[in-house]
Chains A and B, each alone.
Chain A
């Protein structure tokens, strides 16, 4: 990138979506579009309510802590972070602080880039806390949805150890996939389950640190990238112009509409959260046996699965890396293979066609009509020679366009690879009759002209001819002349 050395630290908030209930209440933890239906008195902070720690959320946080090679404290307790906001019903958030008392302290995770090189991200801390309610600011009013109030939240804080937007995104994507693979969260940014804060500074070289600017509430990975790049540009420009002293230690926010960062407050005006221990939750010991038990239950993680795909299924490293990115992708791919589709073909079709389609439509993999069953059906028919690969692509598009079963479309469209000797022979004879000069040239050694003849046949049959059969018949017929 530019001429300055960039240093980035990330805070990633991920809602724990896989517990039945909320972090400190019996309110249901379930995403729904209907507002204010998953709410207990505790979530709305009615007078007299008390928090009760969700053991399952603690279990998941301990699992994540282990995946990140973090230190797990012997005793666990919670703190109150006090501030007033209408979407914070109690007027304080139950969280963990300081880092050494959090469920994860220190640690690291190794990340692979797309080119196969790796880098290490150092973890400052991982802590378990509760989410606030959700306010929506309308023209002249604000609505509050308490469904989100009290949802367990894991906040993962890195040290300032990242140096490019690309690495930052690669790291975030990998952590998201870990949350999914470990069964902790759907980590779906469309449901607002992931939010990031970005700390960023520039300096002349890696031995000096510049002024840190914090960008709050960046709600998608693409925004993280945009915000980082914008901020590098902004800070670099000031530095170029000799105005680096105007870069202030401050909090900014990412403004989606103007694609820029906007100043919120300076460090001097930082909120004093008046942290103190939550008196309603007694300190509790995290038994070593429990930690061991949780460790044993860590499921296969993305990189392990990628290695398996390459070695067992023989697919390319490139395809495997794409497929493991999202556990739903991996599930889709594995289902295709289970249904009998050739793994290499499935990987190929998935990473090019299926992903291309869902990206274009901006839908989730689980929402497309092209289910693993339908894709596997198409792949099998191609590999068995029933249809040509060109027909396969047509079929793929028609299935999505008409939302009809591929078998039905094959029937109505008469999609079948032409494998009838006599029909093909008629076409071949006609083409050869019209191409005496090419036959001459072929016979004189220009054997690559065979491709020309095959092309003619394919054109004539609109790609439905069985290419193997065409080759065989062409050779025979030319040799006869």
Chain B
């Protein structure tokens, strides 16, 4: 008998013939997540098991962050042949609890002498005999004892919900525009959760923005990395472009033109990286550059699809997710990022494409982008 983690996956169940591909990716990600704990990780019979870890709690926390995992149960694995021992173990696990319970059993070993309803009844009866403080409630029990009869018997009460989603790397690759703010890490998280491998591009405007600001963004990438299995960050020198825009373009269009540069450079990085889409943290109407018209003008300079998972989210909803995933505190550090350096007093909110293009025509676009691309620093997180 030993304690182990019984890892359950979610949406992969919906997959058909290609399910093994997703499962193997998931197994790989779980192994990677717990590599510091020297655990045994294996897959059997539709479940992933993690055993013999240095620290099972710590292991569970990591596994709960792996996209594709639905929940983690703290299970006891034991021989299934002696059913009275299984009942005794069930009693042992329940005797400290109060209130109502039910037994939920599964039998994937169809040759086992007792079927699931029978197991439920027998184990439940044993618990009732030994624990008079407990009552049965089959509909809304306070505690559920899960009994799974597979190659062994697995019993567990405590289940920790995990993040869900799909294993990272099973759904292609995308390039995240990562500022130091609250929204973009959340956007990256949401797309990574769908199994997409993420790289990020960050625009650095030294000396208007500091090394601390850059380090903050890399810290955000590191936090996201825990979910997204590593993020490569392209740090793009952006000062010259911002200065040129500031000098040569009408003030109310500067933010928009800057955003267009960011999109173009992000797309160039995406192509270099082999990414098939861009990700931004934009949400309709949040700021001047995120009105419907503004989004249209920034979208127009790229041909890759642009994913905006936060498009319909309120700020409060975005903050709630950023708190949950652990990026909020870092995002809230007060180091200025390049977006706010030259913010115009009255940015245009309903830009017209022809005016934007005319305003931009004063700039030597290709040369500016080429120089920015040449100065890129790549940081693996």
**B and A form one assembly:** no
Interface set of A (CB-CB < 8 Å, partner B) = none
